[in-house]
Each structure stands twice: as structure tokens, then as C-alpha cells.
Structure 1
Amino acid sequence: MKVRIGIDIGGTNTKFGLIGPDGTILKRHRIQTSSFDSFDSFIKEVVEQARKMLKSEDELIGIGIGAPNGNVHSGMIESAPNMPWRYKLPIRAKVQEAFDCPVALTNDANAAAMGEKIFGGAKEMNDFVVITLGTGVGSGIYINGELAYGHDGFAGEIGHVITYPGGRLCGCGRRGCIEAYVNAKGILRTLAEEKYQFPDSELAQIEEKEINVKVIGQYAEKGDSLALHIFEKTGEFLGLTLANSMAYTSPEAFFLFGGITKVGEILREPVHRHMEANMLNIYQNKAKVVFSELPEDDAAILGAAALV
């Protein structure tokens, strides 16, 4: 059987999928990206796990990789802020050495956007943006039915647009990037900064080490004032950024993707409301804010596999 392997490399986890001829994920696996002390040891494990997915009768026709700051042109991961290792990592060449098949690389958010276009809610759209919300904040941008790469392969870094000059320190080393406000750590920082305004909140009484975005979502569902305020602020931060992004991409929809979106409408509604409140009038009421229609573990894997 002809198969492809899709690999989604994230700052926290790396996910693998063995993809059949009809796009079905036949096997899945994951490893913890941050548990490796060097890039070489990480690549060795990636190659080993990819090989384990194959049966002797399988015909591997290609491997697609999505990674933070993955450059489709150079085949390198270049200075990814949320990866354990920095500088230029020749991942495509390293994987190519181990397998006798084509290997392709793209940005992880681009891979998620490709997955949404081919298998998800964007099948009938030519202009849309996928925003990935997790350890980092990325974006994959489709314009006129094609993925935007830019001349250097790095187009689509909405997470590193400086929305608040002089603001929070971002993992990229600059201040005020929207990623520092709406990624997982950013949401927890908002909690730490705002909780003293809500002395009657149950959430405010919990030790910070026991809190994550899922916990905040659970308290928001119960009507906790602090938890609802945190998602209102997060919606304000991200909504403003999407309103600005509308001016240079004008998509039909923004798809929110990633673990943070599991809190559902508690996040989506304030994002959409603040986006419309900050939108230039010629764009108002034209773009939807919706969740990805693909499971979190599938979109980037399928999109990466589609590269080959």
C-alpha cells in the first residue's frame, strides 16, 4: 500500500501520522519535543519512530513535516522561539538521509491551513486564515486559493506582529507581540496580573502552579468572574490583531485551531466581538471567526502529509 507520513513538530509535542491513499490516518504516535537535550538526538528519535510506523509491504511515497519557523525553501527550522534549540536546524536534509523518498517541510501553521483546506472547513474557500493557539501563536494564510509563503518562505507570522509596543517580552526576544498575550503562557500571565481585582473569585484562590487554560475554562463555565474576565481580555487582545490582519488579508474566515480552543464559545465570542469593534468599516461583518473542523492532532499531520 502506498503511504505517506505526516509529522507535526510543536514546541511541546511532536505528532506522527501514517496516511493511507484516501487520506485516512492509519497510525498515530507522539513524542515530547522538549525531552531531548540536542537536535541530533531528537532527529534520531523522529527517524526511529517514523520507521516503526511502516510495515514491510508499505510503499512510502513521501514524508511531510510541519514545524515552527519551518522554511519551505531552505528545508530548515530557523530560530523558532518556542523550540528547545535555536538557529538553523537542517531537518529536511537529516530526515532525507534516512529515507529513500521525497521529504518536504513547511511552517506548522501552514500545515494546519493546508489540512483545513483539503480536509476541513475551508474546502470551498479561497481566502482564509488559520490561527494556531498553543505553546506559540502561528498563522497560515490562503490568498486566491494559494498558501502565502512570501519571497523568503516566512510569510504568515501574525503571532509576532507587535500589537502592544513596549509590552510583554515575547519568546522571539521582542516586546509586545500578540503571542505573548494569547498563547498558553500569555493567558496565565494575564491571570496573574488581573486576579487581584477579583477577591471573591474561586479561581483567584487557587495556587498558580495548579492552573492551566483548561482549568480557567472550567471555572468560566461555572460563571467565575475572574475566569470570564481572562477570556474577555484574551478576546480583546486577539480580536484587535484579527481586525488589523483583515486589512491586509481580507479573508472569508479566521479559523481558530489548537488546544486553547477547547474552551469553545467562551473564547470565540469575545474574539469575534472585539474583532468587529476594531474593524475598518469596509470590512465589518464580512469575516467569520470559527473553530477548525479537524481534530487538533489531525490537521497539521494531514496538511504536512499533503506536501508530498
Structure 2
Amino acid sequence: MSRYILGFDVGGTKISAVIGDEGGNIIAKVSRPTVRHLGKKRLIQQMIEMGHSVMEKAGSADVSKIGIIFAGLVDSEKGIVKVSPNILGLNNFAITRPLSDEFGVEAVLENDATAATIAERVYGSGRNVDNFVYLTLSTGIGGGAFVNGRLMRGAHGMAGEMGHMVIMSNGPVCGCGRRGCLEAIAGGRGIARRVAENISAVRDSELFSKVKPNEIDARTVFEYKKKGDMFAQLIVEETIYYLAVGIVNIVNILDPELVIIGGGIANAGRELFQPLRAAVNQEFKSMYRQVKIVRGMKNGHDIAPIAVPVYLEGLEAKASG
């Protein structure tokens, strides 16, 4: 009989609570918008309320573990949010303890991109693949990797910050403070910025000229490209080139057999993946090797907080065995 896991995804735009089983099946889900000034006490209160609500919705009051994924820098061993870029007042926040006390089970914490990488290893395309990279293309760009069957964490638990490699010297300023990071150019916010900066091209575009600047996002750009807008096509082609450069950089360093791409921009489907595969193959030059590029699980962020405790439990079982 599968045990149920309570999972939380604390992100920049929404907070979700899910109930899932060890097989990765999501039984119930509730979501709330993220309030930037929520603070520690009110966030915990909201998560507790959402936890009880989703358990009631699932018809289950019995969970064996709690998984929490967070969009920020975390200390997963101590269960502490170290840096919170999206919700104010959460730096150095011991988030797991009050939830563990409330629900009476162990709670584990993981960075959201690392958790999505783990989810691909446990339930997705990364099963039985010892060397793969996961990239999440959303507002920003994050990721993670398994190398020789082990999750790559690094000396400070910060490995996998794929979006913060510089690929354009003296390029636009990134949120990290450096210039020309992959995230600043090819992340969702970077794509929207590149459109908005070219005022003359926006005015000349029949489609973009009818949209308010704050309504332009990556989804809009790919949608307009499909409709034949030449400016959107240029932006998409540039984005794919920058992503290809970044992916080949990663492949040259880690030599994975698989690159899994998730996040909202992956929803562009063939409009993204077909030209991206071709651009990556071309960018390899004489360093070419066989690497598959596949789409991540569509519900990866729902499954990620379930996958983390399942994965950690599997590691413990191996260690004790």
C-alpha cells in the first residue's frame, strides 16, 4: 500500500500544496498566490492551513513525510531557507521545524530546481540515466545534474546554477549582479526585456504594437512567432542560439547523455525543441557528441516535493543495506 506524502512548492508567484503517493501520483492540490511581504509567521500559518485543506480534499489525514521545495538558496541538511529572493523577510528561516511539529512527521527541504532534477531522476526521463542535466526555463533559468548516478550538490550546496554562466560579455545585468548571464538573456524576463528594448521593431509589428509592454512574455513571443511575426521570429532565433551556447558549455563540462528541459518556456513544444536540437548540434563544432534533448515532465513542479523525500528515503535504504 502506497504511503501519502504532503508536498509544498513555495514559489515567486504561487504557493502550492499537494498530496501524492510514492508512485508520483498526485491525489489533490490547492494553490494560493504568493504575497511578497508575507513574512515567516504568516507563511507558516498559510502553509499549515493549506496542508490541512489539501489533506481534507484528498480524503486522507495520514501522511508519512513532508517535502518542501523553495525558490531560493536553501540548506537542505538543516531545513533552512538561507536566501529568499521572492518573499521578503525569510532569510535564515528554519522552515521545516514548525511544519514537522504541526503534522507530526519528518519534513525535508530542497531548492526548487534541484527538486525538479530529483523528480526527473525518480519519475521522469532521468530514470536509469546516470549522467543527465536538467534545465528549467521559466522567468529565470535554473537546473541541476546527476553525475555518475549521484546528485551534484557542490561544496556549498549551490551546484546547478546553470543560468548564471556568462555567455555575452558586457551583456545585460542579471539579477545576480553579473552581466550577460544566460538567465538575463534567454530566461522569460530576459526575452521580454529584449522585446521591450527594441521600441521601433515593436511599433512596426502588427501584433506586438497592440500589446502593452508589461503583457509581453516568452509565451507571447513564441505564439507570435507561430503566427508569422518577423520580429518574434528574430527574438526566438536569438534565444535558441543563446540557449544552444549555454547547453553546449554545460555538455562540454559535464558530458551528460541527456539534457532534460522543463519550465514554462518548454511549453512552446516543437517551436523550441526542433530548432534547439539543430542549434546545439551545430554549436558542438569539432567537440560533437551524441546527446539527447528531451522535454521534462509537464507536472514536474507538482511531483517535485513528493519526489524529494522518496529519493532521500531511497538513499538511506541503500546506505543501510
Q: Give the TM-score of the pair, scaled to structure 1.
A: 0.89
Secondary structure class of the residue paired with 1:78: strand
| Alpha-carbon distance in 2 for matches of 1:62, 1:285 | 41
Counterpart pick for 1:168 among 154, 167, 172: 172
Q: 1:21 to 1:240 in 2, by over 3 A?
A: closer
Deviation at 1:278, TM superposition (A): 2.9
Q: Does 1:271 align with 2:276?
A: yes
| Residue 228 of structure 2: aligned partner | 223
Judge conservation of contact 2:258–2:292 (CA < 8 Å) in 1.
yes
| Residue 254 of structure 1: aligned partner | 259
Counterpart pick for 1:132 among 105, 122, 136: 136
| Residue 70 of structure 2: aligned partner | 67
| Residue 27 of structure 2: aligned partner | 26
| Alpha-carbon distance in 1 for matches of 2:169, 2:103 | 45
Q: 1:181 to 1:281 in 2, by over 3 A?
A: same
Judge conservation of contact 1:15–1:301 (CA < 8 Å) in 2.
no
Q: 1:100 to 1:286 in 2, by over 3 A?
A: same
Name the % identity. Answer: 29
Deviation at 1:99, TM superposition (A): 2.7
Q: Does 1:115 align with 2:119?
A: yes
Residue deviations 1:184-233 (CA, integer Å, cap 9, x gap): 21110111234534764323313313322222222111121111111111
| Residue 93 of structure 2: aligned partner | 89
Judge conservation of contact 2:39–2:87 (CA < 8 Å) in 1.
no
List runs of 5+ in structure 2 lacking aligned partners.
Answer: 314-321
| Alpha-carbon distance in 2 for matches of 1:163, 1:39 | 37
Counterpart pick for 1:212 among 209, 214, 217: 217
Q: 1:79 to 1:167 in 2, by over 3 A?
A: farther
After TM superposition, the structure 1 = structure 2 runs for residues 93-104 of structure 1, keeping only pairs within 5 Å, are 93-104=97-108
Amino acid in structure 1 at the alignment position of 2:248: A
| Residue 300 of structure 1: aligned partner | 304
Deviation at 1:107, TM superposition (A): 1.4
Deviation at 1:236, TM superposition (A): 1.5
Q: 1:298 to 1:86 in 2, by over 3 A?
A: closer
Q: 1:280 to 1:249 in 2, by over 3 A?
A: farther
| Residue 319 of structure 2: aligned partner | none
| Alpha-carbon distance in 2 for matches of 1:53, 1:234 | 39
Residue deviations 1:43-63 (CA, integer Å, cap 9, x gap): 220122112222586322111
Q: 1:224 to 1:138 in 2, by over 3 A?
A: same
Deviation at 1:158, TM superposition (A): 0.8
Counterpart pick for 2:242 among 208, 224, 237: 237
| Alpha-carbon distance in 1 for matches of 2:174, 2:87 | 13
| Alpha-carbon distance in 2 for matches of 1:274, 1:80 | 35
Deviation at 1:2, TM superposition (A): 3.2
Amino acid in structure 2 at the alignment position of 1:273: A
Q: With a CA cutoff of 8 Å and minimum separation of 6, indicate the structure with the bigger relative contact order.
A: 1
Q: Give the TM-score of the pair, scaled to structure 2.
A: 0.86
| Residue 290 of structure 1: aligned partner | 294
| Alpha-carbon distance in 1 for matches of 2:37, 2:162 | 28
Amino acid in structure 2 at the alignment position of 1:63: I
Q: Does 1:78 align with 2:79?
A: no
After TM superposition, the structure 1 = structure 2 runs for residues 42-57 of structure 1, keeping only pairs within 5 Å, are 42-55=43-56
| Residue 192 of structure 1: aligned partner | 196
Judge conservation of contact 1:119–1:294 (CA < 8 Å) in 2.
no
Q: 1:2 to 1:198 in 2, by over 3 A?
A: closer
RMSD: 2.4
Secondary structure class of the residue paired with 2:75: coil
Aligned residue pairs: how many? Answer: 307
Judge conservation of contact 2:140–2:187 (CA < 8 Å) in 1.
yes
Judge conservation of contact 1:196–1:204 (CA < 8 Å) in 2.
no
Amino acid in structure 2 at the alignment position of 1:146: R
Amino acid in structure 1 at the alignment position of 2:148: N
Residue deviations 1:284-304 (CA, integer Å, cap 9, x gap): 241122211342543423323
| Residue 158 of structure 2: aligned partner | 154
Judge conservation of contact 1:113–1:303 (CA < 8 Å) in 2.
no
